[in-house]
Chains A and B, each alone.
Chain A
């Protein structure tokens, strides 16, 4: 029977048959929320913000408050929150926990949840880059798995803003070993020790965890948890301000695909908005 199926369906069919044969039923044991922070000033200007530290815009603040309101309305309660060292992710976490009445919940911060380091592309406008290099090239830089942008150097206008910041003296690696540019693969490589050694133990204590982070740190973690392939991750776009629910079994395997919570029309609009950021802006002549 299997030999007559189209090739593209073979893998999927095999997986289903294998699961049935194993009669493995995955029971949900843990809940994990991922949240990409809302709009920041540079998101509005469509620039690669990356490790430059910015607050949320007014819109971003609203997104975070709405997210908290939604989680509260749906009866979720948090036990621990993890954020990056970047203000916009911390601000998002504060607004969400405040909307839920959970300000007391411990919030732990780590550079390992920081946004992907975009190297020399930091501060550049995505749409202009697309005009100069083509939408596909920009999409590859943004969405590929192992392509690293050119590294940031001391001549970059934001180099010292980043590396002179005191927060990067508190990391678990020396300042000189912090990245100067990253692919998504490298994001996952530096994120995984924190996931395994700090976040997973909290989840396994039966704590409902929220990870308030960034587009690429959330994508990297999603890739790891859901086993998304290097090719397929290119097509994954996470909307801002929308809580992503993962229900995990006792081995931290997802029992079903991740769920974007909230109004589905708004969610699709939010995804389209992020995807449009990489498109070339055609100016009238």
Chain B
């Protein structure tokens, strides 16, 4: 098993968290998060959000590698959580197949969905940057509480998303038409607190396969990060992220990535490069 720390600009944030964890506490629980791999729309550099894009072939391979990393380390789980979007569900399936634990109970919830990008959903990120400027794109993608423009009924994908059967049990107040990161976290955390935490506290080993922004919500909460700090954190795709938690569910050390150094470094650089306008 190779556990690699993140490199580059994230190293500073990482070291800060290392200092935070200096006091020795015992691990009572272990939690694994995995962000889904590349989707067909990631490939096209589009804002995906709640659009139900499938994994690309590269994303499938990322998930398989993630499963292999968990298998090599002998991880066993008791329960899994994921969103209702196929790119996360398929990532979970590929991981479970890789570790031969397809029999595990899997709970799917809209609350672990990716951030809803509203009116930007479907737009190519480079074109949006050229139209609105890199700064505006960065604000929409990386700010904490500024939502993008809403997805109204005229939007091409309104019917495919807002009227999809999987959301039929959501009330009008619950069903978003756009979200800031703050909004995403606000609807993800109740599920974390009410459904996932009790399972962890019962000693269940939990695996969560979800999206960049819903997982950021969990990470921000676990590590008590500031709004600014979470904006600078890019979770790698397809790489299992391991937390060891004390009995109060506080991490006793920084998150650890499972995989080889090269894979981890490349993944983090690739995400940071998105959103820059192509000249």
Contact = CB atoms under 8 A, between A and B. Distances in A.
Interface of A: 77, 79, 85-87, 90-91, 94, 98, 101, 103-104, 106-109, 166-167, 170
A77 B164 CA distance: 12
A67 B232 CA distance: 45
A85 B108 CA distance: 18
B3 to A, nearest CB: 25
Contacts of A86: 103
Given A104-B166, A106-B108, A167 B89 contact: no
Contacts of A109: 103, 105
Contacts, number: 36
Interface string B75-89: 010100000111001
Contact of A104 (B100, B105, B108): B108
B90 A103 contact: yes
Contacts of A85: 103
B90 A98 contact: yes
Question: Which 3 A-B residue pairs are closest in the complex by CB-CB distance?
Answer: A104-B84, A103-B86, A167-B103
B42 to A, nearest CB: 18
Contacts of B27: none
Nearest to B106: A107
B102 interface: yes
Contacts of B166: 104
B41 interface: no
B75 to A, nearest CB: 12
Contact of B89 (A77, A90, A103, A170): A103
B273 to A, nearest CB: 29
Contacts of B93: 94
Contacts of B89: 103-104
B279 interface: no
B165 interface: yes
Interface in B209-265: none
A108 B104 CA distance: 10
Given A77-B165, A94-B93, A104 B86 contact: yes
A85 B100 CA distance: 12
Nearest to A86: B103
B86 A87 contact: no
6 contacts: A77-B165, A85-B103, A98-B86, A104-B85, A104-B89, A170-B105
